[in-house]
Structures are given as structure tokens and as C-alpha cells.
Amino acid sequence: MSVVIIGGHDCMACRYKDICKEYGCTVKVYTQWRSNLARKIGQPDMMVLFTNPVSHKMTTIARQQAVRNNITLVQSHFGSGSTLRNILEAKIKGEAVNE
């Protein structure tokens, strides 16, 4: 499963990648604004949007790309490692994610 993480804390970027690898996921993490972000998102199986520590512009682009490309979008206010684990576990089990 491929995952793109938008937002979150800069200091957690490596931890996000480690957590995703534990669940067998390939991951891209964008904690800061990047030019051409919409193109860099690509076609992942799931997008995780940590809404608290992210710019409004990045949030808007992530939501637009999710709708445009039919990508599962999971939004959470918190950018913690345990939140990411809960999201991945729910997705793998096929449950609805309520974060």
C-alpha cells in the first residue's frame, strides 16, 4: 500500500516513514510546502492529512487531489506517531477510520 502524508511535524518525518515501513507501506512525507505539490502526491492508495501543523494551502491541495484522483483521504488534527499507527491499522483491517 502506498501512503502520502501531508503535514505533521518536521521532527517526526523520519518516524512517520519508519511506522509506515513497519506496516509494509511505501510512503512520501511532505511536512513543508513544496512547489508542484499536487504533482508530487501522485496516485497513492491513501493520503493522511495532519491538519493542525499544516498550512491552509497544503490542506486545500491535498483535498483537491484526493477528490480529483479518487484517493482515500484520512484527516486527523494530531500528527503523532500513535495516530498514524491507528490510521494504518484501521486501513489494513478494512475498518472505517475515525480520527
pLDDT, tens only, 37-58: 999 999 999 999 998 878 899 9
- Res 92 pLDDT > 90: no
The larger pLDDT score, comparing residue 93 to residue 62, is at 62
Q: Are 4 and 42 in contact (CB under 8 A)?
A: yes
pTM here is: 0.91
Predicted local confidence at residue 99, as pLDDT: 53
DSSP SS3 for 49: strand
Which CATH fold topology does 2-44+58-93 show? Answer: Rossmann fold (3.40.50)
Query: How does 5-40 read in b/e, with b if 16+ C-beta sit within 10 Å?
Result: bbbbbeebbeebbebbeebebebbbbbeeeeebeee
Predicted local confidence at residue 97, as pLDDT: 63
Predicted local confidence at residue 54, as pLDDT: 85
